[in-house]
Amino acid sequence: MNLAKLERVRIATLPTPLQYAGRLTETLGGPKIFIKRDDLTGLALGGNKLRKLEFLLARAKAVGATCVITCGGTQSNHACQTAAAAARVGLKCVLVLASGVHNELQGNLLLDNLFGADVKLIEAPATSPDELDRAMEEVAEHLRRQGEVPYIIPLGGSSRYGAAGYVLASLELINQATELGIRPDYVYVAVGSGSTLAGLIVGAKAFSAPYRVKGVAVYRPPEEQKRAIWALAQDTAELLGLNLTVEPHDVSIYGEFLGPGYGHLTPEAREAIRLVARTEGLVLDPVYTGKAMAALIEHIRAGWVGPEETVVFLHTGGAAAVFAYARELTD
C-alpha cells in the first residue's frame, strides 16, 4: 500500500479514542455501542475533516500555494476546520459559503471569523456543488491576478487524497477494537460529500475489517450520491496501489433520515441529540451526527441491529453548529 508514501502534514490529534457508550447502550436495550471520537481531533473543536486536511494541505504546500479556497454552507464543519488548519500551517484561507437560514455570526461562522478566514457568502444552495465550484474558480482567478497561488479544496475535502485519511483511520479503528477485545458488526457514519464513507469502505476491504460500513445521508438523497462515492472509493484504492475491487453494493446509504434536506433539523435528530447528551454527556450536531444517530436508534428499535451485535458510531464533530440551532433544539 502506498499510504505511507503520501505527503502529510501532522495537524490532527491522533489516535482519537474509541469509547464504550454504556448508558446509551443500556437505555436503548440493544447492541453494545462504541463511539469513535473524531470530534476530538484537536483543531476548531475537532472533527473528521482534519484527517482529510492532513493530506490535502500537504498537496497545497507541495505546489507552493499561498492560500486555500474551499466551500460549504454557512455552518459548514469542513469550512471551519479548513480555516483552522490553514491558520495552523500558515496559509491564507478563503471560504465560499452558500447563504442559508443560519447566516448569523454564530457557531461555525463565528469560528471562521476568529480563524481569520475571508468569508464570501453567495446566493446558492449548499447542495449545488457546481455553483460552488464556479464561485471558487472565480475567487481563485481573482487571487492569481493579485499574485497569490491558490489551491482549491473541493466541497467536504472530497477527493482521493481526502478519502485516504479515512483509509488510515480504518486501520486505527481496527487496531483499537482488537485492543478492546471487541468485534464490531457495523460502523455508522453520516454521509455528506462522501469521502469519509469512501475511505472507510476502502479501509474495511484493505484491512479485512469484520464490520460493514453503514452511511446515513445528510446532504443529498442516496440515489444522487452512490455512484460518485463508488467511483471515489475505486479511485482512492487505485491511488494507494491496492489490489481490491469496490462493488456498487459496498456503498450502503440510508436516505430516510435526511428530512427536508441538508441543514434542516429533523424531530428524530433532535431526539437523538438530546438522548446522547443526557446519557453520555456528548454533543452531537443537528446537520450530521444527529441524523446519523437517529438512524442507528431507529435501526436498533426496529431490530435491524441485534442485541448481541456491536456497533461503532463515528462521531464526526460539529459541536459548534449546535449554537446556531439553539431555538430549534430548545423549542
Give the DSSP letter of residue 14: -
Q: Which residues of 65-87 are buried (b: 16+ CB within 10 A; e: fewer)?
A: bebbbbbbbbbbbbbbbbbbbbb
Which three cell numbers, joined as nine digits, stand for 179? 485492543
- What SS3 string covers 215-236? EEECCCCHHHCHHHHHHHHHHH
| Burial classification of residue 304, based on how many CB atoms lie within 10 Å of its CB (0-12 exposed, 13-18 middle, 19 or more buried) | middle
Q: Is the dihedral of CA 140, 236, 54, 45 positive or negative?
A: positive
- What 8-state DSSP symbol labels residue 4? G
- Determine which one of 76, 158, 193, 195 is catalytic: 76
C-alpha cell read off for 317: 464533530
- 76 is annotated as an active-site residue: yes
The H or E element spanning position 97 is strand 92-98
CA dihedral 19, 269, 327, 115 (to 10 degrees): 50
With vertex at residue 27, the alpha carbon angle to CA 197 and CA 254, rounded to the nearest 5 degrees, is 25
* Number of helices followed by number of strands (H, E) in the chain: 11, 10
SS3 at position 258: coil
Catalytic residue set: 76
